[in-house]
């Protein structure tokens, strides 16, 4: 059986942005492209990545104005990348080692794609044990969060970022959505 390579499962044409762009512009681009991250590039070379989590922790939680903060100020950097010819096992190892869920794919110094944790899980039944362990960790984290009345994060109904999420029947909702659902 031939080994599955990253090239076989990666998404081509990943969403990119210049490091000087505002975080607000990046968030709007992420929303329009329906992605959870955007690769920060300089001359076609990935220099970092900006995720929903970065925006939540470094902008929303600190009450900063996203239109006045450049992407380069809060991006995760340096970009941890992988070759399109690498195997999926290497991607899993890299993601685990660095505790990340997305890997820009670089060939000859240029960005050619993106591989995510979801891409890997869709192709490898061998990852079931890892998935089950991850699910248990997430269950424990949710139980911990349920003990608090309010949390910061993304509303599971409308997708808006909020510092006052409420647990409603196991879902984290902003106050507006909680009123409609509840």
99 and 34 within one domain? yes
Same-domain pairing of 170 and 96: no
Q: How many domains does the chain have?
A: 2
Share of the chain above pLDDT 90, in %: 51
Quick one: average pLDDT of 58-80? 94
pTM: 0.63
CA distance 80 to 94: 8
Inter-CA distances, 22 with 3, 12, 53, 61, 107, Å: 41, 24, 16, 17, 27
- Residue 119 maps to a domain: yes
Residue 75 has what pLDDT? Answer: 95
pLDDT of 1? 39
pLDDT given for residue 114 in this prediction: 94
In a domain, 139, yes or no: no
| pLDDT tens per residue across span 95-128 | 999 989 999 999 998 899 999 988 888 876 655 6
Residue 142: inside a domain: no
Report d(CA 52, CA 1) in Å as an integer. Answer: 37
User: What pLDDT, on a 0 to 100 scale, did the predictor assign at position 148?
Assistant: 55
How confident is the model at residue 181, as a pLDDT?
77
pLDDT at position 25 over 80: yes
119 and 158 inside one domain: no
Domain that holds residue 29: 6-127
pLDDT for the residue numbered 125: 63
| Predicted pLDDT at 169 | 86
Q: Say if CB 72 and CB 25 are below 8 A apart.
A: no
Give the pLDDT confidence score for residue 170 in this predicted structure.
Answer: 83
Sign of CA dihedral 66, 70, 73, 75: positive
Q: Same structural domain for residues 123 and 156?
A: no
**Residues 113 and 156 reside in one and the same domain:** no
Query: Residue 17: which CATH number?
Result: 3.10.580.10
- Check residue 2 and give its pLDDT: 54
What is the per-residue pLDDT across 150-177, written as a single tens digit (0 to 9) for each?
778 899 999 998 888 888 888 888 888 9
Q: Is 29 within a domain?
A: yes
């Amino acid at each position: 059986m031939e080994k599955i390579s990253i090239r076989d499962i990666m998404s081509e044409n990943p969403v990119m942005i210049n490091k000087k762009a505002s975080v607000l512009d990046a968030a709007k681009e992420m929303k329009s492209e329906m992605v959870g991250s955007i690769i920060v590039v300089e001359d076609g070379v990935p220099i970092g990545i900006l995720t929903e989590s970065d925006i939540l922790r470094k902008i929303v939680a600190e009450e900063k104005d996203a239109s006045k903060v450049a992407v380069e100020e809060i991006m995760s950097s340096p970009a941890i990348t992988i070759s399109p010819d690498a195997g999926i096992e290497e991607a899993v190892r890299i993601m685990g080692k660095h505790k990340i869920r997305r890997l820009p794919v670089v060939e000859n110094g240029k960005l050619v794609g993106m591989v995510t944790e979801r891409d890997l899980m869709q192709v490898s039944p061998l990852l079931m044990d890892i998935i089950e362990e991850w699910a248990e960790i997430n269950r424990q984290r949710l139980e911990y969060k349920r003990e608090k009345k309010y949390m910061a994060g993304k509303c599971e109904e409308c997708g808006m970022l909020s510092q006052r999420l409420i647990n409603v029947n196991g879902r984290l909702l902003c106050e507006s959505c909680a009123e409609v659902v509840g």
